[in-house]
Amino acid sequence: MADNISDDQIIQQCLIESDKINDAPGPRWMRRTFGIGYTRAKRLRKEVIKIINSKNINKPVVEFDQRDDGATLIGHMTGHIITADQLIEIANVDLRIWIPQHQRVKKWDVVTKNADGEPVITQAFGITITFRRDNNGALLASLFDDVLSKIRHYAPSYPKLSQVIPNSDGDYLYVVSIPDAHFGKLAWAEETGENYDVKIAQQLYDDAISMLAKMASGFNVARVLYVVGNDLLHVDTGANTTTAGTPQDVDGRWQKAYRAAFDSVINGIERLREIAPVDVIIQPGNHDRERAWLLGEGLGAWFRNASGVRVLNEPSPRRYYAIGRVLLGITHGDGEKLRDLPGIMADETGDRWTRARRREWLIGHFHRRRHLDAMPLADERGVLVRVLPSLSGADSWHVSKGYHGQRAAVGLAYRLDGLVVHDTTVALAEDERRERGVFVVDGEAG
């Protein structure tokens, strides 16, 4: 048997055995199981130990203690510290119920042995996070989960992708991102120069999606990336405030805006699915941090039976999407400094950074279009930060501050080899936008 089995096969079997016994199998077990000599068994055991150590070095030991009035999350890890957000995600803490209050980090040295049995000093870390219980949030979470289960049960059935798309083998990624639509915002033309409400927001959003879908038909698209959120909704609380509590001018009840936004995104996914398989990334903004996540859960339930649709709704503040030689970072833009984004991408993406030829950030928040070449684009390590425009009309606060920008929606076609990107922006015509939504094409290639 020893002549017929490779080192890799032996190592894989040893890793399976190690999961059962919580340790690396000894040379005696390896000799008996595989019929190999002692020297080979000893050498391969060292390789197994290295693999086990590399897998466990950053794996935290997590304990989540829940009480009626609060909870405590404790995580211990060695070799490399993780963030509090990552620990919360690993522990699967329901942030609808548990509100983080305080966190404490400590570190110390531990002595372990390497594969050769020699002592090695490794730094260990401990993170403790305390939470208070939000009883209203717990009630809403329970009600939402009940509604979500009903959506999943009655989710519509969609035709198989092959029935919709004759040929989904393409060489472009088409990205649709319409940040800062602010469904629910209210603007009065006599005060701001233009009207804006839920009905106008929905009409502009739906028309923009339709036009961008037509633009995408000019490319051989392999996949569509649809970024949803980024202040899609104007308020996040029953008191008509942002997530942080800033009061807003609103058009009626928030439920009205939520329903309109939900319907528009469903229609958008259905329309884009006719082009190619669609990945939907949910990116909350500073206006809708909680409701955007709930919207994402609803979309995931709605499209659970639809082939070719993936809804990616993660609690992390930044998202990354890699395909071919293209790496995209997605965040709202209210938290990080623009100049820091390239370094953050390099730190957080590992091998995806190395493989990528084109690296870009897509952000919203600023309601205006802007490009920031954070590193020279001719350089292999170049990163472009794209600040995307908004379709939303200006409210009284923005007008009082003199904030204006061209209202537009962006579609970006990235060739999968990372060498070419086509910008298929559709802009709201300035001379007609006060009367009705009219779009004009404003495209470029780079």
Q: What is the pLDDT of residues 188-207, one digit of tens each?
A: 887 877 888 999 999 999 99
Average pLDDT over residues 373-392: 66
Percent of the chain with pLDDT over 70: 80
* Separation between Cα atoms, residue 258 and residue 147, nearest integer Å: 15
- Is 70 exceeded by the pLDDT of residue 342? yes
Candidates 396, 237, 243; CA nearest to 332 is 243
- pLDDT at 374 (0 to 100): 47
Model pLDDT for residues 96-142, shown as the tens digit of each residue: 788 899 988 888 887 766 656 677 777 778 899 999 988 766 766 77
- Place 80 in a pLDDT band, splitting at 50, 70 and 90: low
Q: Average per-residue pLDDT in the chain?
A: 81
- pLDDT over 90 for what percent of the chain? 25
119-133 β-sheet, strand order:
61-66, 70-78, 119-133, 98-113
Across the range 260-282, mean pLDDT stands at 94
Q: Which residues contact 261 (CB under 8 A, 6 or more apart)?
A: 181, 183, 202, 232, 233, 295
Per-residue pLDDT, 435: 38
pLDDT at position 379 is: 40
| Averaged pLDDT for residues 376-390 | 68
pLDDT at residue 6, as a whole number? 85
pLDDT for 234 beyond 80: yes
Q: In whole angstroms, give the CA distance from residue 71 to residue 133.
A: 8
Q: Provide mean pLDDT across the span 61-79.
A: 85
**What is the CATH number that goes with domain 61-133?**
3.30.110
Identify the residue with better confidence: 16 or 165: 16
- Would you kindly state where each structural domain of the chain is located, as residue ranges? 2-56, 61-133, 156-445
Tell me, what's the pLDDT at 12?
83
Helices 7-21 and 27-34, axial angle in degrees (round to 10): 120
**Which of 400, 395, 405, 425 has the alpha carbon at shortest distance from 413?**
425
Residues 415, 170: Cα–Cα separation, whole Å: 9
* Contact call for residues 271 and 206 (beta carbons, < 8 A): no
pLDDT at 378 over 70: no
pLDDT band of 360, cuts 50, 70, 90: very high
Greater pLDDT, 62 or 225: 225
Q: How large is the average pLDDT for residues 159-177? A: 72
The architecture of the domain spanning 156-445 is 4-Layer Sandwich (3.60)
CA 143 to chain centre: 25
